[in-house]
Chains A and B, each alone.
Chain A
Amino acid sequence: MIGAQLPALQVVIPLLAAPLCLLLYRPFATWLLTVVTSAATLVISTLLLTQVLDSGPIDYTFGGWAAPFGIAYRIDLVNAYVLLIVSAISTVVSVFARLSVAAEIEASNQGIFYTAWLLCLTGLLGIAITGDAFNLFVFLEISSLSSYVLIAMGQDRRALTASYQYLIMGTIGATFILIGVGLLYALTGTLNMADLAERLPAVADTRTARAGFAFLTVGIALKIALFPLHLWLPNAYAYAPSAVSAFLAATATKVAVYALLRFLFSVFGESFSLETMPLAHGLAVLGSVAVLFASLVAIFQHNIKRMLAYSSVAQIGYLTLGISFVSELGLSATILHLFNHALMKGALFLALGCIAWRIGSARLGDFQGLGYRMPWTMGVFLIGGLSLIGIPTTAGFISKWYLVLAALEKGWWPVLVVIVIGSLLAVVYIWRVVEIAYLGKRLEEAPSGEAPLSMLLPACLLALANIYFGIHTELSVGVAHEAAKALFGGL
């Protein structure tokens, strides 16, 4: 019985927990509720994934209204995979969050913080799970609004500006998406994605459809932070509280990429969106530029959080490159990288969180000798960094490998060169940190000692996951392949 209700519970549980959080309001209680809720969503998403693997896509309707009229959830491999990423990251990071948040946010605001966290989780899970275009927009707004709150809580005063800019940009993006969905609705009279996919081909050759497509792609591109629409991202990630940086960096853009995939492949169909429309080449160019430019900028950053944020922009470039190949291999590379990038960025930002907790800074200059002062934390950072570069036996290598194979299959040599250069640039910016931390002068009077276990363990867990999924790829690669196949097959 309960098995059939899992899709609803996936979203309802965090949605229910959010107001409860507001009622409880005490830091510890709200934290505990957040962890428990995240863990519950993780359990549900795992169950959903196994269900989908066993018996194919799951349909769920709300309030007993049949699909095209009511809101329907539809879970196939792609979104089950994304649900798993989001809920797993939320669980790990929320465990980490208690001390980190306690150090960075006033006790009186922590209730709001966890409430916003749960709402954000609700929104992200909702985007991933829903099969309704308008519902997707609603969840997008829930997650965005709550993430503005989360970012604004950063210690640095600039967090407010960053959050404000994100608010403006995010709202524009959401509005575009709404306009796009509205145009599609005007054209077809339906909001259900499956229904849209059926009715769109008949009317695809109209200006309305194309305008809708343009608004949707640009709106989602803004949410993904695709170059050159990434400008909100570096500050938002850099000035947000440590836990939020880790959570959002690992999940928010991933979910937006998922939304893009959903619209491109399931709603419009790849023949329209990537062949009729010149989007594939656009994505290839913008993705390549993102990889090169953002990696180059990352090299010169003094603030490591900002450096990682730019590196995220570069990684988004890889994700879009994977889409631009319009091949099953490329698509599975993208989906795989969604997963692997969540692991590596999660590990890196958690390591930074530990460092911020201990030395209160993310500036490169303060990292002198940190390799000896916080050996485990720097170890996590190092593994995350290696994974980011794509060293074999790390998760990052696997996704780069598939990306390279996809580029070779297509014979796009320039893109191959871009990927290689991007990796080399990643070597440079990671090396800067490693050099300072391990070879720099050891400052005797600087604070030293590891972060508490409740922070260190989640970080180590993600680092280990980076290695585990660099060696045992059955789950990550297998599901990504199947998901890519499913996307190519249409809804």
Chain B
Amino acid sequence: MNDNPVLRIVAKIIIPMILIFGLYVQFHGDFGPGGGFQAGVIFATGFILYGLVFGTDALRSAIPAPILRIVIAGGLLLYVGVGVATLLMGSDFLAYNVLGSTPSGGQHLGIFLVELGVGVTVSAVMITVFLGFAGRNDP
């Protein structure tokens, strides 16, 4: 598919849109429908489309495996880290109230960070799964 100009051009046009939509779902999640999980999948779709059209090697050079690994771990760490932070600040695990100056501010920040962690991890895992399957037949 690498040599099909229509696909290449369309992909180049819609990939940024997909990514932006992913970010929207991510960050709008605490006000409207959405959230880290969905956003992560949508975000990953952009990369997967890139891999489908331009080849997995191109995708691999865009996001090397060690980076993916770090991102997966980082997202999870962010999530757990928030929980640990609340613990350290003297409250229960994931009791966000203590994070901000006001309880609602704390809730806001806490959910924002936790969802970000989820989104990052999910998208990185999705890309890894795609690479894992797509890479099977590579020499």
Chain A residues with CB under 8 A of B76: 15, 18-19
User: Contact between B92 and A5 (Cβ–Cβ < 8 Å)?
Assistant: yes
- The segment out of A55-63, A415-423, A445-453 that lies at the interface is A55-63
- B38 within 8 A of partner (CB): no
Chain A residues with CB under 8 A of B94: 62-63
User: Contact between A1 and B84 (Cβ–Cβ < 8 Å)?
Assistant: no
User: Contact between B69 and A22 (Cβ–Cβ < 8 Å)?
Assistant: yes
- A64 within 8 A of partner (CB): yes
User: Contact between B83 and A12 (Cβ–Cβ < 8 Å)?
Assistant: yes
- B29 within 8 A of partner (CB): no
Chain B nearest CB from A140 CB (Å) reads 19
Chain B residues with CB under 8 A of A168: none
| A62 to B96 alpha-carbon distance, docked (Å) | 10
Segment 55-82 of A: residues with Cβ below 8 Å from B: 60-64
| A447 to B77 alpha-carbon distance, docked (Å) | 45
Segment 34-69 of B: residues with Cβ below 8 Å from A: 69
- B127 within 8 A of partner (CB): no
Which of B72, B81, B96 is A63 in contact with, Cβ under 8 Å? B96
User: Contact between B92 and A19 (Cβ–Cβ < 8 Å)?
Assistant: no
User: Contact between B84 and A60 (Cβ–Cβ < 8 Å)?
Assistant: no
User: Contact between A62 and B73 (Cβ–Cβ < 8 Å)?
Assistant: no
| A180 to B94 alpha-carbon distance, docked (Å) | 28
- A439 within 8 A of partner (CB): no
Given A19-B73, A22-B69, does the pair A64, B80 have CB atoms closer than 8 Å?
A: no
Chain B nearest CB from A147 CB (Å) reads 18
User: Contact between A16 and B72 (Cβ–Cβ < 8 Å)?
Assistant: no
Chain A nearest CB from B39 CB (Å) reads 19
User: Contact between A8 and B73 (Cβ–Cβ < 8 Å)?
Assistant: no
Chain B nearest CB from A33 CB (Å) reads 12
User: Contact between B73 and A64 (Cβ–Cβ < 8 Å)?
Assistant: no
Chain A residues with CB under 8 A of B87: 5, 8-9, 12
Chain A nearest CB from B44 CB (Å) reads 18
User: Contact between A19 and B77 (Cβ–Cβ < 8 Å)?
Assistant: yes
- A20 within 8 A of partner (CB): yes
Given A12-B83, A64-B97, does the pair A20, B91 have CB atoms closer than 8 Å?
A: no
| A16 to B76 alpha-carbon distance, docked (Å) | 8
Interface of chain B, helix or strand or loop or mixed? helix
- A114 within 8 A of partner (CB): no
Given A1-B90, A5-B87, A8-B87, does the pair A19, B95 have CB atoms closer than 8 Å?
A: no
| A1 to B90 alpha-carbon distance, docked (Å) | 8
Given A5-B87, A19-B80, does the pair A12, B73 have CB atoms closer than 8 Å?
A: no
User: Contact between A22 and B93 (Cβ–Cβ < 8 Å)?
Assistant: no
User: Contact between A20 and B73 (Cβ–Cβ < 8 Å)?
Assistant: yes
Chain A nearest CB from B137 CB (Å) reads 17
User: Contact between A20 and B77 (Cβ–Cβ < 8 Å)?
Assistant: yes
Chain A residues with CB under 8 A of B75: 19
User: Contact between A23 and B73 (Cβ–Cβ < 8 Å)?
Assistant: yes
Is the interface on chain B under 10, 10 to 19, 20 to 34, or 35 or more residues? 20 to 34
- B70 within 8 A of partner (CB): yes
Chain B nearest CB from A113 CB (Å) reads 14
Chain A nearest CB from B83 CB (Å) reads 6
Chain B nearest CB from A193 CB (Å) reads 19
Contact mask for chain A residues 218-251; partner B; CB cutoff 8 A; 1 contact, 0 none: 0000000000000000000000000000000000
User: Contact between A63 and B74 (Cβ–Cβ < 8 Å)?
Assistant: no
| A16 to B85 alpha-carbon distance, docked (Å) | 12
User: Contact between A19 and B74 (Cβ–Cβ < 8 Å)?
Assistant: yes
Which of A16, A23, A63 is B92 in contact with, Cβ under 8 Å? A63
- A25 within 8 A of partner (CB): yes
User: Contact between B95 and A22 (Cβ–Cβ < 8 Å)?
Assistant: no
Chain A residues with CB under 8 A of B90: 1
From B69, B80, B90, B93, residue with most partner A Cβ within 10 Å: B93
| A22 to B72 alpha-carbon distance, docked (Å) | 8
User: Contact between B84 and A12 (Cβ–Cβ < 8 Å)?
Assistant: yes
Chain B nearest CB from A139 CB (Å) reads 15
**Which residue of chain A lies nearest to B96 when distances are taken between CB atoms in the complex?**
A63
| A15 to B79 alpha-carbon distance, docked (Å) | 10
User: Contact between B95 and A64 (Cβ–Cβ < 8 Å)?
Assistant: yes
| A8 to B92 alpha-carbon distance, docked (Å) | 8
| A25 to B87 alpha-carbon distance, docked (Å) | 27
From A1, A23, A60, residue with most partner B Cβ within 10 Å: A23
User: Contact between A8 and B93 (Cβ–Cβ < 8 Å)?
Assistant: yes
From B69, B70, B92, residue with most partner A Cβ within 10 Å: B92
| A25 to B74 alpha-carbon distance, docked (Å) | 13
Chain B nearest CB from A64 CB (Å) reads 4
Chain B nearest CB from A368 CB (Å) reads 42
User: Contact between A15 and B80 (Cβ–Cβ < 8 Å)?
Assistant: yes
Chain A nearest CB from B58 CB (Å) reads 23
| A436 to B77 alpha-carbon distance, docked (Å) | 51
Chain A residues with CB under 8 A of B81: 16
User: Contact between A60 and B92 (Cβ–Cβ < 8 Å)?
Assistant: yes
Q: For the A-B complex with A22-B69, A22-B70 known, give 16 more contacts whose Cβ atoms are closer than 8 Å.
A: A12-B80, A12-B83, A16-B81, A16-B84, A18-B76, A19-B80, A22-B72, A22-B73, A23-B69, A23-B70, A25-B69, A62-B92, A62-B95, A63-B92, A64-B91, A64-B92
Q: Would you give 8 A-B contacts (Cβ < 8 Å), ordered by A?
A: A12-B80, A16-B80, A18-B76, A19-B76, A22-B70, A60-B92, A62-B94, A63-B92
Shortest beta-carbon contacts, A-B, top 9:
A19-B73, A8-B93, A22-B73, A19-B76, A64-B95, A63-B94, A19-B77, A16-B80, A23-B73
| B interface list, Cβ under 8 A from A | 69-70, 72-77, 80-81, 83-84, 87, 90-97
